[in-house]
Amino acid sequence: MKAAAVSDYRELARRRLPHFLFEYIDGGSYAEATLRRNVADLEAITLRQRVLKDVSSIDLSTQLFGQSLAMPVALGPIGLAGLYGRRGEVQAARAAQAAGAPFTLSTMAVCAIDEVAAAGVGPFWFQLYMIRDRGFMRDLLAKAKAAGCSALVFTVDLPVPGARYRDVRSGLAGAPGLAGGLRRFGQTLARPGWAWDVGLNGRPHSLGNVAPVLAGQTGLEDFFAWIRDNFDAATTWRDLAFLRGAWDGPIIIKGVLDVEDAREAARSGADGLVVSNHGGRQLDGALSSAAALPAIAQAVGDQITVLADGGVRSGLDVVRMLALGSKGVLLGRAWAYALAGGGGAGVAHVLQLIEAEIQVAMALTGVARVGDIGPDILAG
């Protein structure tokens, strides 16, 4: 199949990945209501078609946190990407760099900060989870600084992990020991292309950034147990002072869905926030990002840079998020599917598709500059 859209990469990913990995990317928590709402609410935002506006020259460039971007899009943090493509984080970071979009490296990445930096990609963003061992966190932040990371994305919507039924059903979670391992192995044998390219030649598969504290544990089962044991559920807004002390660059708080929390984020001195429900992977039943965004942008958009993610599957969706009040948009599954379905070239292609789709959407809504996209391009 020749991919023409993000949805095609989802299908390619489904065909290429072992079942448990595809389900891990594709799924959400509990009944997946919020996951579905993220996509459906965004799709339901109607655009206002305008004509005869001289849209012969469309400018997608924008500035975020003092950085010039080719378009108002960044690759958001996705854990375990090195299992979707061979050294997946490095491949995705290269594709993002070529497209002029920031790449965000997850704390839970396969490739460590040093490996991505050594691959010669330009400044990337680093995503952080608050881990109980603050000494370890200080070291991690120092590594990110030394690697030239240009922003810190601090994810706050995972103090405890939400249950994802699909992971249990696929054998990724809750299947310890030999039985679980054999089940996943069986699913891997059914995907020989992946087994050779990523399974064998993409090793090591350990979590590079947290390897020092994983104490030799490497299995996927250990990974989930480690999250439960080590993510700091006692974290509050006061802990931002710790981050400020350890990080002097821009701080972006990811996972805000409520106006009161957005006001706290603005008061906390953070530089940005991401309106996000973790792609419908945490609190099922929460608002979609598209539904939460307008009130947050209205309340704090003049004090703090508001970004958004969740359900973005096209350049049209990017334009919708901007019209709802965000200044930039993070891609999640869109790039994970592309990496799994087409490697680094797939990620590059998805970024080209998104860019072209933004351009057309801007032309047909009659705006020539990103800064001119606002609620007035929405119909009804």
Q: Catalytic amino acids?
A: 278
Closer CB to ligand FNR, 24 or 226, in the complex? 24
> Taking CB under 6 A as the rule, does residue 106 contact ligand FNR?
yes
**Sole window of 167-175, 217-225, 292-300, 330-338 interacting with ligand FNR (rule: CB under 6 A):** 330-338
> Taking CB under 6 A as the rule, does residue 10 contact ligand FNR?
no
Tell which positions 150-169 bind ligand FNR, by CB under 6 A: 155
Supply the minimum distance, in Å, between the C-beta of residue 150 and ligand FNR: 17
H or E, element range at 205: none
Question: Tokens for 183?
Answer: 């089940």
307 contacts 326 by C-beta, under 8 angstroms: yes
> Taking CB under 6 A as the rule, does residue 38 contact ligand FNR?
yes
Torsion of CA 332, 334, 340, 341, to 10 degrees: 180
**Sole window of 72-80, 137-145, 298-306, 363-371 interacting with ligand FNR (rule: CB under 6 A):** 72-80
Residue 121, SS3? coil
Supply the minimum distance, in Å, between the C-beta of residue 312 and ligand FNR: 5
Supply the minimum distance, in Å, between the C-beta of residue 329 and ligand FNR: 9
Tell which positions 16-35 bind ligand FNR, by CB under 6 A: 24-25
Question: Tokens for 175?
Answer: 């299947």
Closer CB to ligand FNR, 79 or 199, in the complex? 79
**Sole window of 169-177, 186-194, 232-240, 328-336 interacting with ligand FNR (rule: CB under 6 A):** 328-336
**Tokens 């984020």 belong to residue:** 265
Tell which positions 225-284 bind ligand FNR, by CB under 6 A: 254, 276, 278-279, 281
Residue whose CB is nearest to ligand FNR in the complex, by number: 332
Closer CB to ligand FNR, 155 or 305, in the complex? 155
Laid out side by side, the sheet with 328-331 consists of 73-75, 328-331, 305-308, 272-275, 251-256, 151-155, 125-128, 104-105
Closest CA to 102 of 86, 124, 82: 124
Residue 320 CA to residue 65 CA, distance in Å, equals: 21
CA dist list (Å): 260 to 1, 11, 265, 300, 378: 46, 39, 9, 10, 26
Residue in 73, 78, 131, 300 binding ligand FNR, rule: CB under 6 A: 78
> Taking CB under 6 A as the rule, does residue 87 contact ligand FNR?
no
Residue in 332, 341, 344, 346 binding ligand FNR, rule: CB under 6 A: 332
Closer CB to ligand FNR, 84 or 370, in the complex? 84
Residue in 172, 252, 312, 347 binding ligand FNR, rule: CB under 6 A: 312
CA 229 to chain centre: 23
User: What is the chain's length?
Assistant: 380
Residue 310 CA to residue 36 CA, distance in Å, equals: 10
Residue 93 CA to residue 101 CA, distance in Å, equals: 9
Residue 166 CA to residue 145 CA, distance in Å, equals: 37
Q: Which residues bind ligand FNR (CB under 6 A)?
A: 24-25, 38, 76-79, 106, 108, 127, 155, 254, 276, 278-279, 281, 309-312, 332-334, 336
